[in-house]
Amino acid sequence: MCSIIGYKGNEHASSVLVEGLRKMEYRGYDSVGIATIKSGKLLIRKGVGKVAEVNKSLRLDELPGNLGIGHTRWATHGGIVDSNAHPHLACKSTIAVVHNGIIENYNELKNELCRSGHEFKSETDSEVIAHLLEEYFEITGDIRLSMIFTCKRLQGSFAFVAMFNSSTLCGARYDEPLIIGVGNDDYFLSSDILGFLNYTDRAIFLDNRDIVILNDNDISFFNFDGDRVSRRMTQVAWELGDADKGKYSHFTLKEIHEQRYTIVKSMQQDKKNLEKFCDILTGGKNIYITGSGTSYHSALLAKQIFSKSKIHVETIMSSEFQYSSDMLDENSVLLAISQSGETADVIQSVKSAKTMGAKVISIVNIPTSSLARLSDSYLEVKCGPEIGVAATKSFTSQIALLYYVADIIGRKSNGILSSKDILVKAVIQVLELDSQIEGIADQLKHSKDVYILGRSLHFPICLEGALKIKELSYIHAEGMAAGELKHGPLALIDTNSIVIVLHPDDSTYGDTLSNIHTIKSRGAKIVGISNKKDALYDYQITIPTINESLYPLIEVIPLQLLAYHLSICNNGNPDYPRNLAKSVTVK
Ligand code: M6R
């Protein structure tokens, strides 16, 4: 959830670090800090706020030196205050550490270290790493041994970078990503390739339980048992770093508008990869799909898409997987969906599926992610970097790819391949509704509760629309299967309620119309998203007519735009909603 970065080379380290942190800020953005070394002395500046704000007030990028570490924080242990921001120093100020993850046994370690005389300055779990390194360095006088002994004591998940005043930079990872960028005369240690992609496209991906040590003229790798290991260098795609707002005021808006290209791009798959993926999928006796948040909504929709193609699948929310995974065995296939490929709940699900002998395939946006590397086969949605915390284009790319796969392996087609051109035109038409939707958002901005109703394929879109509204505008929103209204939630509907109805002229039209009448008679305001005009709606968002199965791909877009504009109307920051992070690497 946090981003960490280290740099050692000939450049002015603090400027490189600040730039890298800016690129990775989507991972967490409560506070930020930098430490560098100059003439054997550790210098540190850190504070609460986003990178640009803190840099403006503390001039992080003016710290001298060619070696340094940096961090943006997404608070888990301890409040959002300067003292909890990273880097954390050990007692003698000769070791500084930045950490991503959670140290589960930090309390026990802290008590032990306090008993040996260490003094803590923060409430974080991360600070124990700095003190443990100091403790073991005092005993052994050896950085490699201090790293090994420290890593062995830590329970939980972690990637950390430590800087010693002898100008040594070290890193270690366990269940959190840590990647080395290899430049001509310099090295980067980062939680994401975006942290260094401006400088180099050569990367080394550390494995779990790896330690890396960078001395003046040497880079060496060890595992937690102290054995030397070797790691291969790979070349990563430059386009992964193409993250620029362009003419848009926010990444989120840009990413919503990019759907005119991204949806169909997800269907451009390498033939061999696709075959392998489909073979594994069809080879499973039982197929399960898992994901979190938006990606779980893709899974829910996939269940319906696959069932229309006569393939039965079950969905399991990744955070609940551990409680229902007994069903999986060597005849099972688990399809994991994740934009980032780093979500802890998803990774955990995949690991337990593998221990049960199941095959694992995945749909990811980042081919270098942990999920892709854990999978027997994976497909990329290829929608480019998604920086906005809210998943938008990655969602429609995931579902387009799922339609595509279902149509290839299924007995009955959803028709996505024959409708590609119509689909692109329809997406463009919906995006042109942007300013109309901005006007509706202005009318609805003071709402306290929003309900989104739909049936069948539209139900997962109701859930996704509600998630977008909650996440971006902080307005309470609930997605519901329209038929469930009368079984309880109707009690909530009154003249203050806003009900958005996904109501295209398809097989769900008639039944949903009855629900609309019921709501209308209780005085609620109705926003209809439909291809058929109706005076019943207080506000109508008219979407084009397309193949009935494919509506989810276009009707989610007005909901994304509405959530975006509600955020702007309520003075939110749609790219960085409060309390959230893009890549949720904690459980
Ligand atoms: O990277 P993932 O797809 O695994 O992320 C899963 C969720 O954390 C993510 O979809 C989250 O729900 C989004 N912020 C929703 O907009």
- Residue 526 reports pLDDT greater than 80: yes
Q: Quick one: pLDDT at residue 262? A: 95
Mutation test of ligand 1: which of 584, 585, 587 has the most ligand atoms closer than 8 Å to its C-beta?
Answer: 584
Atom of ligand 1 nearest to the CA of 583: 1
Higher pLDDT, 413 or 548: 548
The CB of 299 under 6 Å from ligand 1? The reply is: no
- Per residue in 191-200, pLDDT (tens digit) is 988 899 889 9
The CB of 362 under 6 Å from ligand 1? The reply is: no
**In angstroms, rounded to a whole number, what is the distance separating the alpha carbons of residues 418 and 272?**
22
- Residue 74 reports pLDDT greater than 90: no
User: What integer is the mean pLDDT of 552-565?
Assistant: 98
The CB of 389 under 6 Å from ligand 1? The reply is: yes
- Residue 242 reports pLDDT greater than 60: no
Sign, CA torsion 567/572/578/580: positive
The CB of 366 under 6 Å from ligand 1? The reply is: no
**In angstroms, rounded to a whole number, what is the distance separating the alpha carbons of residues 151 and 158?**
9
- Cα(58) to ligand 1 centroid in Å equals 32
Domains 251-418 and 434-571 share a fold: yes
The CB of 70 under 6 Å from ligand 1? The reply is: no
Domain range list for the chain = 3-236, 251-418, 434-571
**In angstroms, rounded to a whole number, what is the distance separating the alpha carbons of residues 536 and 514?**
11
The CB of 343 under 6 Å from ligand 1? The reply is: yes
**Coil, helix or strand at residue 572:** coil
Predicted confidence band of residue 154 (pLDDT cuts 50, 70, 90): very high
**In angstroms, rounded to a whole number, what is the distance separating the alpha carbons of residues 514 and 225?**
66
- Residue 241 reports pLDDT greater than 60: no
Predicted confidence band of residue 237 (pLDDT cuts 50, 70, 90): low
How many of the other CB atoms lie within 10 Å of CB of 439?
Answer: 11
Q: Residue 581 has which token pair?
A: 């992070």
Report DSSP letters for 202-223, one per residue.
Answer: EEEEPPTTEEEEEETTEEEEEE
- CA dist 457 → 252, 398, 462, 502 (Å): 25, 15, 9, 10
**In angstroms, rounded to a whole number, what is the distance separating the alpha carbons of residues 180 and 255?**
28
**Coil, helix or strand at residue 410:** coil
Angle between helices 458-473 and 293-308 (to 10 degrees): 170
- In single-letter form, the type of residue at position 554 comes to I
Q: Quick one: pLDDT at residue 4? A: 95
Q: Quick one: pLDDT at residue 514? A: 94
Predicted confidence band of residue 233 (pLDDT cuts 50, 70, 90): confident
- For residue 129, the cross-strand partners are none
- Residue 581 reports pLDDT greater than 80: no
- For residue 88, the cross-strand partners are 97
Instruction: Decide: 89 and 164 in contact? Cβ < 8 Å.
Output: no
- Cα(295) to ligand 1 centroid in Å equals 6
Q: Please give the backbone phi and psi of residue 522, each rounded to the nearest 5 degrees, phi first.
A: -95, 5
Q: Quick one: pLDDT at residue 181? A: 95
Higher pLDDT, 320 or 583: 320
Predicted confidence band of residue 414 (pLDDT cuts 50, 70, 90): confident
Residue with tokens 């969906």: 337
- Residue 68 reports pLDDT greater than 70: yes
Q: Quick one: pLDDT at residue 324? A: 82
- Cα(99) to ligand 1 centroid in Å equals 22
User: What integer is the mean pLDDT of 362-370?
Assistant: 91
Q: Quick one: pLDDT at residue 582? A: 72
The CB of 201 under 6 Å from ligand 1? The reply is: no
- Per residue in 467-480, pLDDT (tens digit) is 999 999 999 999 99
- Please, which residues have CB within 8 angstroms of residue 538's CB and are 6 or more apart in sequence? 525, 526, 527
- CA dist 559 → 437, 440, 443 (Å): 9, 11, 15
- Residue 129 reports pLDDT greater than 70: yes
**In angstroms, rounded to a whole number, what is the distance separating the alpha carbons of residues 341 and 68?**
28
C-alpha Rg value of the chain to the nearest Å: 25
Instruction: Decide: 489 and 478 in contact? Cβ < 8 Å.
Output: yes
User: What integer is the mean pLDDT of 95-100?
Assistant: 97
Q: Quick one: pLDDT at residue 419? A: 86
Angle between helices 293-308 and 393-409 (to 10 degrees): 30
Instruction: Decide: 201 and 195 in contact? Cβ < 8 Å.
Output: no
User: What integer is the mean pLDDT of 101-108?
Assistant: 95
The CB of 84 under 6 Å from ligand 1? The reply is: no
**In angstroms, rounded to a whole number, what is the distance separating the alpha carbons of residues 323 and 286?**
18
- Cα(27) to ligand 1 centroid in Å equals 12
Q: Quick one: pLDDT at residue 25? A: 83
Q: Quick one: pLDDT at residue 183? A: 93
**Coil, helix or strand at residue 239:** helix
155: burial class by Cβ within 10 Å (0-12, 13-18, 19+)?
middle
Catalytic residues: 2, 582
The domain 3-236 is placed in CATH, from the list 3.40.50.300, 3.60.20.10, 2.40.110.20, 1.10.3720.10, at 3.60.20.10
User: What integer is the mean pLDDT of 71-84?
Assistant: 91
CATH superfamily of 251-418: Glucose-6-phosphate isomerase like protein; domain 1 (3.40.50.10490)
- Residue 94 reports pLDDT greater than 90: yes
Sign, CA torsion 419/425/429/431: positive
Alpha-helical segments (H) within 284-433: 293-308, 321-324, 344-355, 370-374, 393-409, 420-431
- CA dist 119 → 34, 69, 124, 129 (Å): 21, 22, 13, 13
Q: Per mean pLDDT, which of 91-95, 217-221, 365-369, 575-579 is the most reliable?
A: 91-95
Q: Quick one: pLDDT at residue 238? A: 58
Q: Quick one: pLDDT at residue 239? A: 52
Average pLDDT, the chain: 93
User: What integer is the mean pLDDT of 405-409?
Assistant: 92
- Cα(223) to ligand 1 centroid in Å equals 31
User: What integer is the mean pLDDT of 156-163?
Assistant: 95
Higher pLDDT, 233 or 433: 433
User: What integer is the mean pLDDT of 250-264?
Assistant: 94
Q: Please give the backbone phi and psi of residue 46, each rounded to the nearest 5 degrees, phi first.
A: -155, 155
Mutation test of ligand 1: which of 255, 290, 343 has the most ligand atoms closer than 8 Å to its C-beta?
Answer: 343
The CB of 269 under 6 Å from ligand 1? The reply is: no
Alpha-helical segments (H) within 205-343: 251-257, 259-265, 271-283, 293-308, 321-324
Fold of 434-571: Rossmann fold (3.40.50)
- Residue 506 reports pLDDT greater than 90: yes
Q: Quick one: pLDDT at residue 481? A: 97
- Cα(499) to ligand 1 centroid in Å equals 25
- What residue owns the CA closest to ligand 1's atom 12? 293
Q: Quick one: pLDDT at residue 498? A: 96
- What residue owns the CA closest to ligand 1's atom 8? 293
Share of the chain above pLDDT 70, in %: 99
Instruction: Decide: 428 and 523 in contact? Cβ < 8 Å.
Output: no
Predicted confidence band of residue 418 (pLDDT cuts 50, 70, 90): confident
- What residue owns the CA closest to ligand 1's atom 10? 294
Q: Quick one: pLDDT at residue 273? A: 95
- Per residue in 272-290, pLDDT (tens digit) is 999 999 999 999 999 999 9
Q: Residue 326 has which token pair?
A: 């007994």
- Cα(470) to ligand 1 centroid in Å equals 13
Q: Quick one: pLDDT at residue 528? A: 98
**In angstroms, rounded to a whole number, what is the distance separating the alpha carbons of residues 434 and 436?**
6
